[in-house]
Structure 1
Amino acid sequence: MPAKILIVEDEPSICENVVYALEADGFAVSTAATGQSALEQVKAQDFSLIILDVGLPDMTGFEVCKAVRRSHSLPVLFLTARSSEVDRVVGLEIGGDDYVVKPFSPRELVARVRAILRRVSAVPLPALRPDTAVPLVIDDVRCQAIYYGTALNLSRYEFRMLRAFAAHPGRVFSREQLMDHASEEPDASMERTVDTHVKTLRARMRGVRTGLDPIVTHRGMGYSLLETWPDA
């Protein structure tokens, strides 16, 4: 049986996009538009993970998470428009496993779901499909990059570059743009080291997935992250 995900989101368009992304990737999905409905479904069904909006019409997602935690240990991924550090910390401290801020990439969300389930669950995951999920998760709270379930050992510049790539798979970044993303005070010397950082990123990612080059060189233009990925 595929992993079953409960989406708790009161905005129909957002809910539909998340449902489509997860179902296209092989997950079974249920939805709820209120906190009370979510709690009733958690009591009646077995879920592998909850995607939980913080701003629900009847109670906050934080309150729902606390109620769930009283009787269940299933992982919770918060989905919210709140981006302040205080909200992120509160969400994680009350038992959340990850935190995604709107607007978000459905591909990134699916990748984060996969990463959480690999860490906390023995539930078998559906195979990655070439056009549905990027197997790279950027955890801004912990400043980690998770690639095919493995945390990469990156410098701050490499992490920031990879975060820029992951936010826009397929987009070509010039060296100057990558420099701007990587450094608080970019200068000419930093721009000359972009190639070195990209080389290191490739080496670290190939160490996890031998034979796959995730960063594409565009001669005379710059670099991009793969947009289409092979099966796991």
Structure 2
Amino acid sequence: MWINGNIRELRGGRILNKYLLIADDNDGILDILSTYVTKEGFLPLIAHDGEEALKMFKEYKPLLMLLDVMMPKKDGFTVCKEIRETSTIPIIMVTAKGEDGDRIMGLDIGADDYIVKPFSPGEVMARIRAVLRRLDIPEGQREDIICHPGLKINISDYEVIIYEKPVSLTKKEFEILWLLASNPGKVFSRDNLLNSVWGYEYFGDARTVDTHIKRLRSKINISETFSWDIKTIWGVGYKFEVKNV
């Protein structure tokens, strides 16, 4: 269900992908929408033209797209058509064109909704919430998977794939990575991690967390080319950080 504007657990499954792709050639609109979707708990991806939008869609597999019609290189209609050949990702068309023919065309080629400029950011967020409510996952199709660029974590079989290579982790290492990657940008203190991963009944030293993080980093072998990182917040704890895209 949708609670306080943020993604929460859905019936029969969870949506853990928080990427939302905004494609528009107007920097002002990009700035405004990025600010609003960030407040709603999403991670905005920015594309300035149709070709960039397609590239980012293929790389990040976002949860939803806000797609402007009048963009350079490839217009929004073309982008929508190409995406619909392989994906059912929710797409909301955003355009200055208000004619019925354009709206009908956008919906006919596979768009889920259509917003005409000028619009209020509140209206856009309401449309996003409405579209995402339709993503309820049927019973028996639960998918406990977290995806970030170059990273896939499947809790059903404790599988971690990093840039197409499987990585073997212990149960605790896996659970630490799962917790951090499920909450990008959130700082977890050592006590938070102890309580969440080891449980409130654990009476060990908080340095246990540091040891497991060190081993986790060693196995993952994070490099500067990665689109994400496990950051140390000195004197506090750790966080999973997605680099600017």
Q: Give the structure-1-normalised TM-score.
A: 0.51
Cα 1:118–1:27 change in 2 (3 A) is same
* Corresponding position: 1:40 with 2:55: yes
What secondary structure does 1:78 align onto? strand
Bigger helix share: 1
What aligned pairs does 1:115-134 form with structure 2 within 5 A after superposition?
A: 115-122=130-137
Shift of 1:121: 4.9
Stretches (4+) displaced over 6 A: none
Deviations 1:12-62 (A, max 9, x none): 001110111110111111010011111111111121111000000112100
Is residue 2–residue 28 contact of structure 1 (8 Å, CA) maintained in 2?
no
Q: Matched residues in 2 for 1:2 and 1:16: separation?
A: 21
Residue 62 of structure 1: aligned partner: 77
Contact in 2 for aligned 1:8/1:52 (Cα 8 Å): yes
Q: Which has the larger radius of gyration?
A: 2
CA distance in structure 2 between the partners assigned to 1:121 and 1:17 by the alignment: 28
| Map of 2:122 onto structure 1 | 107
What TM-score, normalized to structure 2? 0.49
After the TM superposition, which residues 15-164 of structure 1 pair with which residues of structure 2 at under 5 Å, given as runs?
Answer: 15-122=30-137
- Aligned Cα RMSD in Å? 1.7
8 Å CA contact 1:6–1:29 kept in 2: the answer is yes
Q: What percent identity do the matched residue pairs reach?
A: 39
1:9 aligns with 2:24: yes
CA distance in 1, matches of 2:79, 2:108: 14
Q: 1:79 to 1:121 in 2, by over 3 A?
A: farther
| 1:22 and 1:29 in contact (8 A); partners too | yes
Is contact 1:52–1:77 with CA below 8 Å preserved after alignment?
Answer: yes
Partner letter of residue 82 of structure 1? K
| C-alpha distance in 2 between matches for 1:20 and 1:38 | 19
Maintained 8 Å contact 2:50/2:73:
yes
Residue 120 (structure 1) shift: 2.8
Q: CA separation in 2, counterparts of 1:96 and 1:19?
A: 21
Distance 1:28 1:59 in 2: 24
How many Å separate the matches in 1 of 2:17 and 2:89? 15
For residues 136 and 116 of structure 2, the distance between their equivalents in structure 1, rounded to whole angstroms, comes to 24
Q: Deviations over 1:171-203 (max 9, x none)?
A: xxxxxxxxxxxxxxxxxxxxxxxxxxxxxxxxx
Contact 1:2 1:26 (8 Å CA) reproduced:
no
Q: Quote the Cα distance in structure 1 between the aligned partners of 2:95 and 2:126.
A: 17
Q: Which has the higher strand share?
A: 2
Letter of the structure 2 residue corresponding to residue 79 of structure 1: V
Contact 1:35 1:64 in 2 (8 A): yes
Gaps of 5+ in 1: 124-232
SS in 1 for 2:97: coil
Count of residue correspondences? 124
- Deviation, 1:96, is 0.3
